[in-house]
Amino acid sequence: MPPKIAEVIDYDVCAACGACEAVCPIGAVTVKKAAGIRDPNDLSLYEKGGGYQVCEGCLTCSRVCPVVDGFIQDELTNVRKFFGARSKDNVGSQDGGVASGILKSLFKQGKIDCAVGITRNEKWEPEVVLLTSAEDVERTRGTKYTSDPVLAALREAFEKYDRIAVIGVPCQAHAAHLIRENVNEKIVLIIGLLCMESFHHDVMLEKIIPEILKVKLEDIRKMEFTKGKFWVYTKDGEVHSVPIKDVAKFARNPCHHCCDYTSVFADISVGSVGAPDGWNSVFIRTEIGEKYFDMVREDMEIMEDPKPGLELVEKLIGMKRKGNAEHFLEVCEKFSFETGIRNETI
């Protein structure tokens, strides 16, 4: 019997988080733009880039797949604390630098051995990296709106390190949570990012930037989604923007089925929505998140009641779910297994 992720791949809703590649005991799965798996019962899947080994049906991959697990109806149900923050060392950060600030502080205190993150080259192409020092974290500052299978790097990390932090968008945070619960306890902290959607980097670099924004890639110094628009800042000080609706249709297909905006399965979620310019909104979601944030609190400035606050976050949750929930539930009807949107507290 093929694992459930074979259907996730076949129906083109694979989030390409990389979790299945990280945990497969025989290396039967590879994840690039989407997952590929070699399954002896379905030869068509051989064309999707799977490794040379044949799946042995252990089903470990199905236990760590965020699509197989499904979504939570109220994604603010587990928020213990919500506040604004910014790192005291946030030069070069997208907003308040909290995510990178947490990692830097934990490395300096010797609380983590490794963090899995994503950096980019001069062409804005993403690259998954294993970070092992505060200095390494500097390379990953700033948001990237293109996707790469971040969690696939855990395969190497599990072999070399014992205390691993993961930072990623909702599908990656969800999968990291499932890995920690089901497969490997070496993940000590999950930092989730707020995410409306992401893009294949070739679509971003060859379509959205040059054709819609009419900007040269080499001139860009920063990109961001905020206030209903996609903004690009160039090195000459110019600011270019288009409404998000003009680019949303180019997002990866799995993003149109995602019903998690705030990384509900993270220990700590970090974003810019809900906090003033130059600050991050911070959601403490678990006891683990509380413990680790307390370790780094001295390196942060705190804003107890940021505006516009959770009201705006809830509005954007609703915007993301408006079409996506319907799309996801339509695919759920095709699956041979049961998943969906659960009304429960995690």
pLDDT digits (tens, 9 = 90+) for 116-158: 988 776 666 777 889 999 999 987 766 556 667 899 999 999 9
Question: pLDDT value at position 252?
Answer: 84
In a 13 Å sphere around the CA of 67, the CA atoms on its Cβ side amount to 33
Find the helix packing angle between 98-108 and 287-296, rounded to 10°: 80
326-334 long-range Cβ contacts below 8 angstroms, 24+ apart: 327/256, 327/257, 328/13, 328/71, 328/257, 328/258, 328/259, 331/11, 331/13, 331/257, 332/70, 334/7, 334/11
Residue 226, pLDDT above cutoff 80: no
Q: Does domain 4-69 have CATH number 3.40.190.10?
A: no
Tell me the per-residue pLDDT of 148-197, one tens digit each, with 9 for 90 and over.
Answer: 789 999 999 999 999 999 999 999 999 999 999 999 999 999 999 999 88
Question: pLDDT value at position 50?
Answer: 46
Residues of the chain with CATH 3.10.450.750: 201-248
Q: Higher-confidence residue: 91 or 289?
A: 289
Nearest to 302 by CA among 95, 125, 109, 85: 85
Q: Does domain 201-248 have CATH number 3.10.450.750?
A: yes
Residues of the chain with CATH 3.30.70.20: 4-69
CA angle 1, 60, 187 (to 5 degrees): 165
Confidence of residue 320 (pLDDT cuts 50, 70, 90): very high
Question: pLDDT value at position 93?
Answer: 59
* pTM score: 0.89
Question: pLDDT value at position 51?
Answer: 46
Mean pLDDT over the full length of the chain: 88
Question: pLDDT value at position 208?
Answer: 87
